Structure 1
Amino acid sequence: MTTRKGARTIAAIPPSILDQLNKGEIESANLNEWLAINQKQLLETVLTQYNRKTYLQDILTDISNLKKQTVTTINEAIGVGLLTQSYIHNDTALFDLLSQHPSDTVRCWAVFFVGKDEATVAEKLERMKVFAADRHFGVRELSWLAIRPDITENLETTITLLTPWTRSDNEYIRRFASESIRPRGVWCKHIEALKETPELALPILEPLKADTSKYVRDSVGNWLNDASKTRPEFVVSLCKKWEKENNSKETAYILKKARRSILK
């Protein structure tokens, strides 16, 4: 697999790289590349490759009917459309083909097979774990976005289920536990219960208060900053408690991010 590092503007992406991205031959290396991918072109390429081009037109119609076409709404429309086609055609192999594809965008489509399928939140979380631990940032982000409605509807159960994830050796899994329940998560509906009662999330936040991973610490700091906008006294009190319990640089990093709105 080809990997590339370094930031590029969309205009600066070499045509040869963009062509490989649109053919699903390589992963996007950064957000600019991720946003530049022509998902409709990629979809046609993938369905042709897998001898499933008959699925294409219905999904393109779904995309054209979207009120707002963004990278995430198109991604979800394709994922849900592919899930629907798998039902119609009893295509039990499609999920595995998508979830193991070299393209991160294609694996994102597979995320919605889990997020939009009919199952309990426990079953969805178990199936979603492989995507939560994916090597690509885009797949990891959509893994929690796709299951966010289930999390919100089953909040206390989800917190109980995710608490053991905070002890995982994998930083991506630990980060999912925090990021998926942020009160004011990015690009998604807020969780009102956690805006008003952030104490509910302490079983997840406490084990992560001195996490060794910056990726996790950023999530925890942002979580508390979210909470500070509706419950500043909770965040102030928790930060004081954590300062007394742990004087590590890791905890200090989280507390600085947590209090940034309060100290403005």
Structure 2
Amino acid sequence: MTPAPPRKGATRAADIPDEVLQALSRGEMQSATLAEGLALDQSELVRAVFPDLSPGALKAVDAAGELGILKRMARIGEVLLEELGAAGITQCGSHGSDTVRGWACFMIGAQSGLDVAARLAAIRPLADDAHFGVREWAWMAVRPHLVRELDTSIAQLAQWTAEPSERLRRFASEALRPRGVWCAHIAALKREPEQALPILSPLRADPATYVQDSVANWLNDAAKDQPAWVQGLCDQWLQGTPTDATRRICQRALRKLR
């Protein structure tokens, strides 16, 4: 199935037309907004995409519907990996539904025996996905593994800061935000945010606003615990003749301190 072109969607669940919600739940179109992605029926979607799943797997999927969205996605990813194996990752990863591709992210997250480099290599196509939602699921799915091997993860992600794709450069920053969104905080980076400088410093003048916003949000997170460090880093970055990008990052990073 070829992903549908972007469209303007509803920003509230109550405003989603029934025909759109039904098409989303059958995997016939992509969500255009976060509200649409959250509102679709994942149990129905699983049955539409994988009609031959075992009764036990379907029961587990239905039970996952009672969980919050992040845990729901993760649980369905686990169930699909158990049922379909690694081949299911390819099947989900190439599907036209962004939610199905999101399950592929969590299937990669659920795989055992992968080191950091292998897990990042596996998630890379999904981290570079054209859909905003899939890109978010990508970093959320592998973040727990990255945190457990923080030094290695920082070294690996530092290499992504030179990628031509702004989506991959943003992933490098977003995946290890100290506080993040919908995820557990990273205590080590709240205490010592300077550990992430191999990622942050190469992105301090990134030309893409998509990346700039992530770096600024990273520093804004850090400022909640280490405000003096963030202020000092921005002062350093602003010395001489900083680029417009650097000025924008620092302005947004310091927005709560001013």
TM-score range, shorter chain: over 0.9
Aligned to 2:49: 46
TM-score (norm 2): 0.93
Note the alpha carbon deviations across 1:41-98, whole angstroms, 9 max, x for none: 00011112xxxx233x3234334555962222221111110011124xxxx5322111
Q: State how 1:67-86 maps to structure 2 within 5 Å.
A: 69-86=67-84
Q: State how 1:108-127 maps to structure 2 within 5 Å.
A: 108-118=102-112, 119-127=114-122
Is 2:227 aligned against 1:236?
A: no
Could you tell me how far apart the structure 2 residues matched to 1:93 and 1:7 are?
Answer: 32
Could you tell me how far apart the structure 2 residues matched to 1:16 and 1:211 are?
Answer: 41
Note the alpha carbon deviations across 1:178-207, whole angstroms, 9 max, x for none: 000101111111111111111111111011
Residue pair 1:22, 1:42 contacting (<8 A) in 2 also: yes
Aligned to 1:195: 190
Could you tell me how far apart the structure 2 residues matched to 1:7 and 1:44 are?
Answer: 24
Gaps of 5+ in 2: none
Is 2:127 aligned against 1:132?
A: yes
TM-score (norm 1): 0.91
Q: Which amino acid aligns with 1:69?
A: L
Residue pair 2:4, 2:96 contacting (<8 A) in 1 also: no
Shift of the alpha carbon at 1:211? 1.0
SS at match of 1:82: helix
Shift of the alpha carbon at 1:3? 2.5
SS at match of 1:41: helix
Quickly say closer, same or farther: Cα 1:82–1:66, change in 2 above 3 A: closer
Cα RMSD (Å): 1.7
Moved more, 254-263 or 168-177: 254-263
Residue pair 1:104, 1:136 contacting (<8 A) in 2 also: yes
Could you tell me how far apart the structure 1 residues matched to 2:32 and 2:100 are?
Answer: 15
Aligned to 2:8: 6
Aligned to 1:95: 89
Q: Which amino acid aligns with 1:213?
A: A
Quickly say closer, same or farther: Cα 1:94–1:66, change in 2 above 3 A: closer
SS at match of 2:177: coil
SS at match of 1:199: helix
Q: Which amino acid aligns with 1:215?
A: Y
Aligned to 2:26: 23
SS at match of 1:167: coil
Residue pair 1:222, 1:258 contacting (<8 A) in 2 also: yes
Q: State how 1:208-227 maps to structure 2 within 5 Å.
A: 208-227=203-222
SS at match of 2:28: coil
Could you tell me how far apart the structure 2 residues matched to 1:100 and 1:66 are?
Answer: 23
Residue pair 1:3, 1:29 contacting (<8 A) in 2 also: no
Note the alpha carbon deviations across 1:128-182, whole angstroms, 9 max, x for none: 1111101111111111111111111111111111111001110000000000010
Could you tell me how far apart the structure 2 residues matched to 1:246 and 1:153 are?
Answer: 38
Moved more, 30-39 or 58-67: 58-67
Residue pair 1:108, 1:142 contacting (<8 A) in 2 also: yes
Aligned to 1:161: 156
Residue pair 2:170, 2:211 contacting (<8 A) in 1 also: yes
- Size of the aligned set, in residue pairs, is 254
Shift of the alpha carbon at 1:107? 0.6
SS at match of 1:19: helix
